[in-house]
Structure 1
Amino acid sequence: MKPKFDTKFWAHRLNSVKAKIQDEEFWVPIMRDLETASRDVQFRKEFVKANNFDVFQEHSTVQEIFSYVEKSVMGELRMIGQFNKGLKKELFEKTRVNVKLSKMVIPSITTLWLFTTDTFTMNYKALLNEHVIEYILSWLNPLYVNEAFLQEKDRLFGGCLSILWNSICSDSDMKYPIRKHMAPHIETVKCMSEDFSFDQRILALTCILLLTDHERKSDLTTTSADINILIKALHETVESKGGDVVISNATYKLSELLIIFVNISENDTTKDILIDLHIVDSLLHLLPITSLDRDQRIQTLQLLHKLSFKIKTRSGLTDFTKRALDDFLITTNDFEIVELCKRVIFELDQKKRLKESVNTPLEDKYRKPKHVLISYNWGSQPLALKLKSCLKGSGIPTWMDVENMGADTLASMAEAVENAFCVLVCVSEKYKESSACRSEAEYSYNLHKDTVPIMMEKAYSPTGWLGILCGTKKYYQWFNETTIATSTPALVNYLLAHPHAHRSLKEESVEEPALEAKSCSVTSATPKQLSTTDSKEIFMNKLTQHSLGKLKDKFGTFDIDMLKYLQEMERRSPDFLWTTLETQYGMHFQEIIQFCVLLKQSNFD
């Protein structure tokens, strides 16, 4: 017998299985041996080190085995119980299927599960190709329908769900290929979350929340007793200063609880449930516990950051959370922990920031240099850099976080949003699920910035908070060379004609006088020059004619470009303009209406 860690020997054995896939007596013992060997972590390390993931790739040994199991076992399992062929024959078939499941499916599922438990595996895309994922999900329903007679149902269900869960937790990108195949099986997983052991219910619940879209998962947690159990477990952990806690005869570490909460809190409905169950209080008491390690503190803050989008709407909870975080910040100098604390505080401070923005004189806002801000997720960075290059080549001042970042990254981002005349939101599934991207996009929205969706992912339709933010706005496609070439002229012309951009373009032209789309070969006309003092005089006379003469003193210092800016603000951000006129300029209801009507009727070109 070859040495246990001889990976070449194992690779040869596994590859030989494909040639004899019809011969169960040949390959079943090999898979059993692999299952036994894989229980040794050192074997798995050697196997990964030798880069033998080819046995998991498309048309691989594992895929061939799963395909054979689908034809020879699962098809038969789907038929059992559908036809009344007599109790004796039905029991015979069930016994035979149980034997096949035990011989063929369990070793393969267990081996995959063991490999996904390792942080050193890393290459989950090789370990779980889309065909293997599809098989695992498609087996859930026939297994569930016939679970009453399955002898090893816990190993079957637990193995399938654990493979999905481990893969998602270790490589967040895995959620996207798995999600594509999840929709037809959501009801099965939901039923499993109600009928099985606590461990499997939590796995099923978490998979549902991670792998379904916003609309489908919004109603899945509102009656879940398991979330209450998890919250109680977290409270117990706080009381024991970060110790382990026992739930349904299983021991959970604090880090395991936090991982579950971080994942299920991606759902906005779940956020509300968690806050109602006082999770914030527990998290704030966790942070200063000295026995917590660095990873546990980071997980706690990541969870607080996800919850902060809901916390900020809760009266009283915002100030309580900020005070606790301020106290904690004094005790640490860890850069990542400090940054996460600042992100939470930034989100909770948005009301204050918005109030300061409203109170800034309109003239000061106009005189500040303006730019286009590109808001993106790192998964879309190559496309976002292409977008930046196209805009700068057309003379459009552009801000992106790959440059112009100060020592305080959060303050730099906030200032960049505040000084943007337009925010390009690079829409993708990863963007929607990033807390940092959500913070940036919502801050732009709350400041009434002109937000333009740039589609970075083919056939993706934003839902949830991102769907609300994008609304019915015009989308620009930007996910391949063809769509970039098509969208660039329209996008560049839109930004060049943007009334808020005119002063910025004039300032930029000192260094870059040519306003042609250099890097994308798109020719665009320069914006019109806005200068006729007659238009300003006519507008001021209109104010007098409509009993608004007292406003001439307030707006007399505005030049024609600033009046054009006001007119465009009335069109794009009427709520913001109304608030500004009411709070800063002391205008009453009828005066604001009359003023806005005059703005609409005026021609400043």
Structure 2
Amino acid sequence: MATFEEVKPVLDEALQYLKTCSDFSTPQATKALQAIEWLKYEGVSYLVTQSFGQLFGRILGGLSGFLEREKWAEDGFANLELVLGACISLTDNSPELGAKLGTYGSIPLLFSALQKLETYFEQNEEFRIIKLLTISIFGILHNSIRLNCNSNCKIYRDAQAVGICKKYLKSQNALISTFSLMILAYVVDESESGILATSDGGVAILVQWLQEAINSDSHNAAFNWITGDASELLDCLNHLAINDSNKLEIEKQGGIPAIVRMLEDDFNEGEQCVAAEAVWNLAFVKSIRTSPQLQEAVPLLDILRKSTNRNLRKISGIAYWEINDNRHEDLPTRESTPLDASPSYEESMKEPKRAAANTVKVMISYQWDFKHIASEIRDDLVNNGYRVWMDVTHMRDDMLISMAEAVEKSEIILMFLSESYKNSQSCRTEAEYAYKLQKKVIPLLVQEDYKPDGWLGILQGMKLYYKFFSDDLTQTEMPLLLTALEELAQKGKAHDEHDGPITATQSTGIHASPPPSSKSSVRNWTENDVQDWLKKKKLGDLCDTLDDLEGSHLEKMYEKYCRDPTKFEDELRSDYQMSGKLCLKFTVALEKVFKN
């Protein structure tokens, strides 16, 4: 077989032709596409350097007309099959190419093609002709999202990926329905992932395939002529588990033993990393964290957190700390992570250039996509005399140590609210640890179209926030933020006079969440009063679940919420079987009725 260097001149000639070609249905175009198809396993890195990501969009656009039924027998349709068949292998071997397809507009074209083919996918005779082409499109889309979820997710959603893939879930072709499900696992948001799991059995299917994969010698489950390895399947489950209800569904469907099994030493380090990340994710729900099945992961994680593999050591260490309820003694030492250690808390604190009286230590808690905003706010605070800690190392060996130390030693946490923050396990660990230690939290909204939901919505509750998602707003909101910090500084230590998270208000800038009044009229509510309140707040679904509660019970529930919002949410989910959305609506109503 010829080597890459031997065929490179032919490939260069083919690429040059395609870059100047105006008709991709000709025999010359076929020959050029065949040269690329030959290199689908070995020449992908070279193709990326030669702008194939941009070229693919031109080819796809040029051949899209052959998706029409009357043109399926023409050469252009065969060329479309050829380039798509090559690209599924190319994207499987190159995350960078998948990212380029998103950058240069190929993703909307691929979903548009699926929309055109929807008419035929259940008509058996006609579908046979386009089956392989449809499978190739789904394969490309699956590779491009699983390897580039952060960069491509919004592009998929804007291209109507959720609606299109949910239609194809009903396909009688197992491979197409499989690809649809796995793409949706990466793309659906908080509410949609819950719907997907319950209505289409997505979690149950993925758990079944995962069990098949870990029990095979190759750790693969077979889907017709394509296999899915255990890591890939578990990664899909982990994305679905962004929704806490799906975490419970994974447990219900028997997925935890399979996940724990992947931590054992007959799985490779990459598979163990994915399993440790899944344990870390599941451990956010207390009922799962304390379950005997997940607790079986503890001794395995204890071994893996001492691994010589940097990534495995880090993820296992965080999972071990999370599953053991954030015990300080379970934090690793800096000496145990010598390869890439961060500076100490004091060393990484950015000090003001001028002295300011009674300054407090401020920590910025943010997701990496918003580093530029975080840096600007940090510099503004420093210029105004505040001492600010902000993680700029991102993936250091001792990320857990640095995070825990920063939360423990800082007096105020500026928490950046965004969808990517909500979806980040690292950010959730950071945020819930801050609330567990009853740190003062000032929320900053950094994504304009985001409304806090899921676990972040529960923590946020009814608290107002400062808006920092545009330069104009930054200029107007910064004085308000500085006023809030100044009020705290004048009070001395932030925790001396406040119990609970700091919240922004329109009048004074900040105030502490008040405990419920023992004289509250709510306390005297009867069972009927509680039922009427639930209906008024459009929580009628809870009337049967909470049919025997009186006002005094609501007051006790609110006290629990004030002490530990995360623990309270866990109890709502486990004791009352509430979904994430219902939890959020109930806690918002509960907080509002007692604050009023």
TM-score by length of 1: 0.68
Where does 1:19-38 land on structure 2 (aligned, <5 Å)? 20-21=22-23, 24-25=25-26, 28-30=29-31, 32-38=33-39
Q: 5+ residue gaps in structure 1?
A: 78-93, 354-367, 506-560, 579-588, 594-605
Structure 1 equivalent of residue 196 of structure 2: 220
* Worse-superposed segment, 475-484 or 204-213: 475-484
Q: Partners of 2:60 and 2:304 in 1: how far apart?
A: 52
Structure 1 equivalent of residue 96 of structure 2: 122
Residues 1:123 and 1:504: Cα distance change in structure 2 (over 3 Å): farther
Where does 1:306-455 land on structure 2 (aligned, <5 Å)? 306-312=281-287, 315-317=290-292, 320-321=295-296, 323-325=298-300, 328-329=303-304, 332-350=307-325, 371-402=361-392, 409-455=399-445
Structure 1 equivalent of residue 8 of structure 2: 5
Q: Does 1:503 align with 2:477?
A: no
Q: Partners of 2:275 and 2:317 in 1: how far apart?
A: 14
Q: Does 1:267 align with 2:261?
A: no
Q: Does 1:135 align with 2:109?
A: yes
By how many angstroms is 1:103 displaced? 2.7
Residues 1:454 and 1:285: Cα distance change in structure 2 (over 3 Å): same
Residues 1:164 and 1:471: Cα distance change in structure 2 (over 3 Å): farther
Residue type at the aligned position of 1:44: V
By how many angstroms is 1:98 displaced? 4.9
Structure 2 equivalent of residue 200 of structure 1: 176
By how many angstroms is 1:159 displaced? 1.5
Q: Paired residue for 1:153, among 115, 119, 130? A: 130
Structure 1 equivalent of residue 536 of structure 2: none
Q: Partners of 1:345 and 1:102 in 2: how far apart?
A: 53
The answer on whether the counterparts of 1:369 and 1:419 sit within 8 Å (CA) in structure 2 is: no
The answer on whether the counterparts of 1:391 and 1:398 sit within 8 Å (CA) in structure 2 is: yes
Q: Partners of 1:460 and 1:186 in 2: how far apart?
A: 18
Q: Partners of 1:136 and 1:243 in 2: how far apart?
A: 30
Structure 1 equivalent of residue 71 of structure 2: 96
CA deviation vs aligned residue, 1:468-516 (integer Å, no higher than 9, x gap): 33344333333454333232211111111126x63259xxxxxxxxxxx
Q: Partners of 2:325 and 2:45 in 1: how far apart?
A: 48
By how many angstroms is 1:383 displaced? 2.3
Q: Partners of 1:273 and 1:107 in 2: how far apart?
A: 40
By how many angstroms is 1:467 displaced? 3.3
Residue type at the aligned position of 2:247: K
Which stretches of structure 1, 4 residues or longer, exceed 6 Å deviation after superposition? 566-570
Residue type at the aligned position of 2:422: K
CA deviation vs aligned residue, 1:390-413 (integer Å, no higher than 9, x gap): 11221223222348x999643442
Q: 5+ residue gaps in structure 2?
A: 329-357, 504-510, 519-554, 560-596
By how many angstroms is 1:577 displaced? 11
Structure 2 equivalent of residue 586 of structure 1: none
Structure 2 equivalent of residue 63 of structure 1: 57
Structure 2 equivalent of residue 459 of structure 1: 449
By how many angstroms is 1:29 displaced? 2.2
The answer on whether the counterparts of 1:31 and 1:107 sit within 8 Å (CA) in structure 2 is: no
The answer on whether the counterparts of 2:263 and 2:297 sit within 8 Å (CA) in structure 1 is: no
Q: Partners of 1:128 and 1:27 in 2: how far apart?
A: 28
TM-score by length of 2: 0.69
Residue type at the aligned position of 1:132: S
Structure 1 equivalent of residue 257 of structure 2: 281
The answer on whether the counterparts of 2:289 and 2:323 sit within 8 Å (CA) in structure 1 is: no
Residues 1:433 and 1:322: Cα distance change in structure 2 (over 3 Å): same
Q: Partners of 1:420 and 1:231 in 2: how far apart?
A: 41
By how many angstroms is 1:106 displaced? 1.6
By how many angstroms is 1:437 displaced? 0.5
Residues 1:132 and 1:69: Cα distance change in structure 2 (over 3 Å): same
Q: Partners of 1:341 and 1:478 in 2: how far apart?
A: 34
By how many angstroms is 1:204 displaced? 0.7
Q: Partners of 2:111 and 2:163 in 1: how far apart?
A: 12
Q: Partners of 1:3 and 1:330 in 2: how far apart?
A: 46
Q: Does 1:293 align with 2:294?
A: no
CA deviation vs aligned residue, 1:355-414 (integer Å, no higher than 9, x gap): xxxxxxxxxxxxx995222101222223212222211221223222348x9996434423
Equivalenced residue count is 477
Could you say what secondary structure the match of 1:309 adopts? coil
The answer on whether the counterparts of 1:165 and 1:203 sit within 8 Å (CA) in structure 2 is: yes
Residues 1:576 and 1:410: Cα distance change in structure 2 (over 3 Å): farther
By how many angstroms is 1:220 displaced? 0.8
By how many angstroms is 1:241 displaced? 7.2
CA deviation vs aligned residue, 1:96-149 (integer Å, no higher than 9, x gap): 345466334323322332321213x62544344353211111121221212221
